[in-house]
Structures are given as C-alpha cells and as structure tokens.
Amino acid sequence: MGVPGLILIVIIALIVFDPSKLPEIGRAFGSTLREFTNTTKDLISSDKKEEKTQSK
C-alpha cells in the first residue's frame, strides 16, 4: 500500500465519518493498537519464561 492508497483511505474516511469525529476514531484506534502490542509482548515474554522453566 503506497501513498495513493493511503490518500484514498483518508478521503473515504472523511466522507463516511464526520471530520470532527476523526480525532476520536484515531485515539480509539491508537489505544486499541497499543493494547494489542502490550498483550503480544506479554504473551511472548510468558512463553519464554515457560520455555526456561521446562528446560531446567
């Protein structure tokens, strides 16, 4: 996905959603992405701890 695709998505988002609601949607998307990243890191670290425990 390049710049033209990103521009098209932004234009469609402006048409579908009211421009005043876009910051709220962006914050919600950012917090969801942050939570997903944190959960993924926790799962990876817990898997590594289990591997260390099983190998002993």
Q: Measured at the alpha carbon of residue 55, what is the angle toward residues 53 and 56, in degrees to the nearest 5?
A: 70
* In-domain check, residue 56: yes
Counting every residue written for the chain, the total comes to 56
Q: How much is the pLDDT for 46? A: 82
CB distance 22 to 13 below 8 Å: yes
Which pLDDT does position 30 carry in this prediction? Answer: 92
Domain that holds residue 30: 19-56
Per-residue model confidence as pLDDT tens digits over 8-52: 988 888 888 887 888 888 899 899 999 999 999 988 888 777 777
Number of structural domains in the chain:
1
Phi, psi of 15 (to 5 degrees): -75, -45
pLDDT at 39: 92
Residue 53 predicted with pLDDT over 80: no
45 in a structural domain? yes
Residue 55 scores a pLDDT above 70: no
